[in-house]
Structure 1
Amino acid sequence: MYRGDYQLIGSELSFFTRKLEAQLRCQQISWRYLFKTEERKAELEAKAGTHFIPLLMTPDKWLIHDTIAIGPMLSERFKKRAVIPTTPLQRACCFILEDAFNHWLGRVCVHSRWCYPDNIAWAGPRFGANMMLDRSIDEGLSATELEQLAPIGPMMYEGFGKAVCEANGVGPQQAAAVQGDFKNMLDALATHFADNDFLLGDRPCLADFALAGASKAHFICDPEPESWLGQHRDMLYKYTNQFFGDWQGELAPWPADDRVPKTLSTLLDYLQGSYYQSAPANIAAGLAGEKFYEYNYGFGTTRARTQKRLNVARMHVQDELLKAGAADNRQVKALFSERGILEYYFA
């Protein structure tokens, strides 16, 4: 393994860029930001073969993307601070929760950013700080810079935001549903984090980085979703900020005897009624060649566009469950089977 810095290429307002940043920080990997500026854009996309972010440039000059693949690679490379458990139940929870957060939280992210004019006006110049000025949003913007960068928000809304919200079934007309579901999630997280620092207890795993990434890039960053936090504001700030400072000391061990926190069931109850209502319908419609699917997560029927990638992610989790021996594990079955979650991955 070559020595040197990893370069994180992306945007500070990007869910998955922040997800990867959280892991790099947690594992104490030497890294630095390389913002995807307009000047660098063409060269980076040509090298990577994709316009998606984040990208990760390794010291051995690999340029790779997709945090689903990058996360396990870094955990393996930096084993002393591994973020994937080895025992069946904990490993199953790690990959199942990561999958759910990766694909469910994005709906809230795009809706809260692009369906509210004041939030669009706020976010545009912050994207501009990274893309046009090549500097962090933490450095602030002058009145002149805010004026100069003001057109970016409406431009991004017309070129991206409006369409992605419609495709995900989270346009302005879905505001009550998205906010209601977000509150349900916060309630579940508050119950769990009242007694636990992280999703699996005292040590963070891949799924934590997904939740922390969405929170850092959107929920405690953008003014619109931040205004939805209510009584859970301090909880989400405390949880998220753990990941974006300097980690001191060794990571705690995984819980003994392949245990997971009892309050994890509260989160699984929430996901059973939300993500796991959407995902099976999405995949079934996609495999049938349909462009749209419908589902109900407790707020009436939602219509959204099918995503082929979702089944690829499902099969990735299936592979990890099989490698861990989770399919035949008594504890795994006890926690997941009656919820239909394990069946989803082995359908």
Structure 2
Amino acid sequence: MNAKVELYGWEVSPYTAKVDAYFHFKGIPFNKIYPNAYTLARKIQPAVGKMIMPVVYINGKKPIQDSTIIIDHFEQQNPTRAAIPASPKQRIAAQLIELYSDEWLPMAALHYRWNYPENYNFIIGEFGSNALPYFPKFIQNKVAKTFAGKMSGYLPILGITSNTEQALEQHVEALLSLLNTHFAQHRYLLGDQPCLADFSLYGPLYAHLHRDPAPKDLVAKHRNVLTWIERVQGNTSTENNTLPDNDQIPDTLIPILSHMTQSHMPLLQQTIDAIQQWAKEKHTGDKVPQRLGDATLSIEGKQETRYNLSYGYWMLQRIQETYQTVSEENKPPVDEFITQLNGFSLLKEPLHNHVMLKNCRLYLS
């Protein structure tokens, strides 16, 4: 008997889009539920620690939060047609794209959503109709504006100011151009079969950069990227291809990965340093602060101060665990791959502290 799977999340949520695409690839039957404000406050928050999405309920009583944890759970339960590559280079590449898509690209997504006035009425409408679906429009809008104020308030916290906005857009345009070149030759990121990398990147590209009204045609002008979005959005459960043999990485993916690491790794190095310093007098089970002081964000030569957020450390730790499982005999090609990517050599440096994720928070473990 199949379990009853319910996915709670909104269409504007990139992490919900990520899980949605994954479920379709795996052929996992599920019901998609758009949680209203009452459900978020009275069901989701008590169960997982905060009002957040996506959350998956299994048979109505086993909530799972965090898109990465959700995918891990269903991969263990449904190992057929694995979404997470088994071979080390391909697995590291997929996890790296997930890290960037979940932790770095949201800066761009928030910038475009909240710094382009043309998006405001659209987003207010989306927030209002989801949060209060049976209320009059004027009440929906009033409540939605409170949500909007909170979300747009994250911009300076993340280092997105007038000093970095143009550089951030240059970074995104370069990313889309590299992706467009890649998808002219390959159906998906790692080849001709979708995997974790595709679902992760699809989340912010679809739910924010493509779906929001402005800038008009930001994604659509890159025809191959748009075709890939439509492909991932479709019925990928019928895809019967495989990833490249012998742990090969497509040549056109290397510049994309390097573009990601060049901007993201310096920020993560500051997180590593901050956690190492903070943990000196801490113990197993201690809660890791969500913010560990400030960090310097560098984008295309521009710099800005932002919060040094700890969550990315946990995701990097997962990639390093993949690296550490590689035998010494098989490490040379993996090391060669890592050194091709700007700044990614930090992966080879052991992390001094281990953390675990529980109810939306990190703890020393």
Q: Which interval holds the TM-score relative to the shorter structure?
A: 0.7 to 0.9
Contact 2:21-2:232 within 8 A present in 1 as well: yes
The correspondence for 2:170, drawn from 180, 189, 205, is 180
Q: Is 2:150 the partner of 1:151?
A: no
Letter in 1 for 2:79: K
Aligned to 1:20: 19
Contact 1:98-1:210 within 8 A present in 2 as well: yes
Mapped to 1, the partners of 2:78 and 2:125 lie a distance apart of 36
Identity %: 22
Shift of 1:196: 0.8
Contact 2:258-2:340 within 8 A present in 1 as well: no
Mapping 1:117-196, distance limit 5 Å: 117-133=117-133, 149-158=140-149, 160-196=150-186
More helix as a share of residues: 1
Aligned to 1:319: 321
Aligned to 1:106: 106
Shift of 1:107: 0.6
Alignment CA distance shift 1:171-1:152 (3 Å): farther
Mapped to 2, the partners of 1:123 and 1:327 lie a distance apart of 52
Aligned to 2:360: none
Q: Deviations over 1:43-95 (max 9, x none)?
A: 22112233221101123731011112221222222222210111122122121
Q: Is 2:343 the partner of 1:344?
A: no
Alignment CA distance shift 1:56-1:101 (3 Å): same
Alpha-carbon RMSD across the aligned residues, in angstroms, is 2.4
Alignment CA distance shift 1:285-1:48 (3 Å): closer
- SS across alignment from 2:232: coil
Letter in 1 for 2:346: E
Alignment CA distance shift 1:74-1:166 (3 Å): same
What is the aligned length? 335
Q: Deviations over 1:192-217 (max 9, x none)?
A: 11111111101111121111111221
- SS across alignment from 1:57: strand
Alignment CA distance shift 1:16-1:230 (3 Å): closer
Letter in 1 for 2:116: Y
Aligned to 1:79: 79
Q: Is 2:234 the partner of 1:245?
A: yes
Q: Deviations over 1:298-334 (max 9, x none)?
A: 2311211001112122112211222354995222111
Deviates more, 1:321-330 or 1:101-110: 321-330
Mapped to 1, the partners of 2:152 and 2:231 lie a distance apart of 33
Contact 1:111-1:172 within 8 A present in 2 as well: no
Aligned to 2:332: 330
Runs (5+) with no aligned partner, structure 1: 135-143
Letter in 1 for 2:311: R
- SS across alignment from 1:312: helix
Aligned to 2:193: 203
The correspondence for 1:256, drawn from 245, 250, 257, is 245
- SS across alignment from 1:224: coil
Letter in 2 for 1:279: L
Contact 1:277-1:297 within 8 A present in 2 as well: no
- SS across alignment from 1:231: coil
Aligned to 2:267: 278
Aligned to 1:139: none
Mapped to 1, the partners of 2:348 and 2:151 lie a distance apart of 31
Alignment CA distance shift 1:28-1:71 (3 Å): same
Letter in 1 for 2:258: D
Alignment CA distance shift 1:150-1:170 (3 Å): same
Shift of 1:168: 0.7
